[in-house]
């Protein structure tokens, strides 16, 4: 067999395995979400009956609060994305373009902060939020989330800004533009793909965050989707797998679709955050 044939064989056989591994749990989630009896594998007497009931219950029941969790997750994530992108762009521009004392210390500080375990932050955060009466408010999630995602966002944006030639800034400044004008009118438009990847990754990590939300929210007024799913309780005692999986599909599908559509930006963001550091 020639090397070329071997490679083709590897690619096709490998693809089969990769697809099997990656897709099985996802497909299973969908299969159970449409099952009238989610324990249909328990014995031959229980048939697989297709139903939309789980979705209907999850989306219409006032007591399950799935739509509330959704709303909370989306509001939090959107505010976090917008604030983070603005704050990280300003800071990233300063680090990549302006000479000032303490720059090295700031870069090292960002690196160090991204090593902290959440558990070393959450206890104090809880007390702080309790003291100012923010427990179970959006603020209790939004502010810590921004702080938590800032290091990675900064990292990605700094690496993008660094790649842009400094002539861009200088040309605009000779024409009399101020630094902030340069950032808004020259850098941001050119770095738009990088800013977009940052926004996507920020959205995903804030949508996924669990430990802070678990401790800082107490009910459906602010509880986010991950906490809602982790603590999902049926109305009738037994674990309502059909409903849990339906909720999971509703929450995961938009993220999966978004990831596939914007695949290029996400991959760029991940590799910029990790490799160019």
Residues 152-191 that bind another protein (CB under 8 A): 154, 179
Q: Output the six-digit token pair for 75.
A: 């509001």
Q: Which residue has the tokens 């789980």?
A: 54
| C-beta atoms surrounding 14 within 10 Å | 10
| Contact call for residue 115 and another protein (CB under 8 A) | yes
| Contact call for residue 123 and another protein (CB under 8 A) | yes
Stretch that binds another protein, among 61-69, 102-110, 158-166, 189-197 (CB under 8 A): 102-110
Q: How far is the CB of 164 from another protein (least distance, A)?
A: 16
| Contact call for residue 137 and another protein (CB under 8 A) | no
| Binding residues with another protein: total (CB under 8 A) | 96
According to CB under 8 A, which one of 93, 155, 161, 265 is a site residue for another protein? 93
| Contact call for residue 133 and another protein (CB under 8 A) | no
According to CB under 8 A, which one of 55, 134, 148, 161 is a site residue for another protein? 148
According to CB under 8 A, which one of 54, 68, 151, 223 is a site residue for another protein? 151
Q: Which of residues 71-90 bind another protein (CB under 8 A)?
A: 87-88, 90
| Contact call for residue 132 and another protein (CB under 8 A) | no
Stretch that binds another protein, among 56-64, 120-128, 159-167, 185-193 (CB under 8 A): 120-128
According to CB under 8 A, which one of 108, 116, 218, 233 is a site residue for another protein? 116
| Contact call for residue 52 and another protein (CB under 8 A) | no
Q: Which of residues 193-252 bind another protein (CB under 8 A)?
A: 204, 207-208, 210-211, 214-215, 225-227, 229-230, 232, 241, 244-245, 248, 251-252
| Contact call for residue 41 and another protein (CB under 8 A) | yes
Q: What is the CA radius of gyration of the chain?
A: 23
Q: How far is the CB of 242 from another protein (least distance, A)?
A: 11
Q: Which residue has the tokens 């999971």?
A: 248
Q: How far is the CB of 115 from another protein (least distance, A)?
A: 5
| Contact call for residue 139 and another protein (CB under 8 A) | no
Dist. CA 114–CA 155, nearest whole Å: 10
Query: What angle, rounded to 10 degrees, do the helices at 66-97 and 103-113 form?
Result: 150
| C-beta atoms surrounding 250 within 10 Å | 17
Please give the C-alpha separations between residue 63 and each of 36, 55, 60, 224, in angstroms, as whole numbers: 20, 14, 9, 15
Please give the C-alpha separations between residue 205 and each of 51, 124, 202, 228, in angstroms, as whole numbers: 32, 21, 5, 16
CB 229 within 8 A of CB 68: no
Q: What is the 3-state secondary structure (H, E, C) of 117-154?
A: CCHHHHHHHHHHHHHCCCCCCHHHHHHHHHHHHHHHHH
Dist. CA 142–CA 80, nearest whole Å: 6
Q: Which of residues 14-33 bind another protein (CB under 8 A)?
A: 14-15, 17-19, 21-26, 28-29, 32
């Amino acid at each position: 067999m020639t090397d070329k044939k071997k490679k083709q064989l590897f690619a096709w056989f490998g693809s089969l395995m990769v697809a099997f591994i990656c897709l099985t749990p996802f497909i299973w989630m969908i299969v159970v979400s449409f099952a009238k009896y989610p324990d249909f594998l328990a014995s031959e007497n229980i048939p697989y009956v297709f139903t939309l009931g789980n979705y209907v219950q999850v989306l219409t029941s006032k007591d399950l609060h799935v739509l509330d969790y959704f709303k909370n997750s989306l509001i939090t994530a959107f505010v976090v994305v917008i604030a983070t992108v603005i704050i990280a762009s300003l800071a990233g521009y300063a680090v990549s373009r302006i000479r000032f004392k303490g720059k090295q210390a700031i870069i090292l500080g960002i690196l160090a902060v991204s090593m902290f375990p959440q558990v070393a932050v959450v206890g104090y955060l809880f007390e702080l939020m309790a003291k100012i009466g923010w427990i179970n408010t959006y603020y209790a999630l939004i502010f810590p989330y921004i702080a938590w995602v800032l290091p990675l966002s900064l990292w990605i944006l700094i690496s993008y800004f660094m790649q842009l030639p400094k002539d861009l800034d200088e040309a605009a400044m000779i024409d009399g533009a101020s630094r902030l004008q340069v950032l808004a009118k020259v850098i941001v438009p050119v770095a738009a793909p990088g800013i977009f990847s940052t926004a996507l990754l920020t959205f995903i990590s804030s949508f996924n965050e669990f430990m802070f939300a678990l401790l800082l929210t107490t009910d459906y007024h602010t509880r986010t989707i991950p906490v809602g799913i982790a603590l999902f309780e049926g109305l009738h005692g037994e674990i309502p797998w059909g409903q849990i999986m339906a909720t999971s599909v509703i929450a995961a599908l938009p993220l999966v679709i978004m990831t596939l559509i914007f695949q290029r930006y996400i991959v760029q963001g991940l590799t910029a955050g990790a490799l160019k550091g």
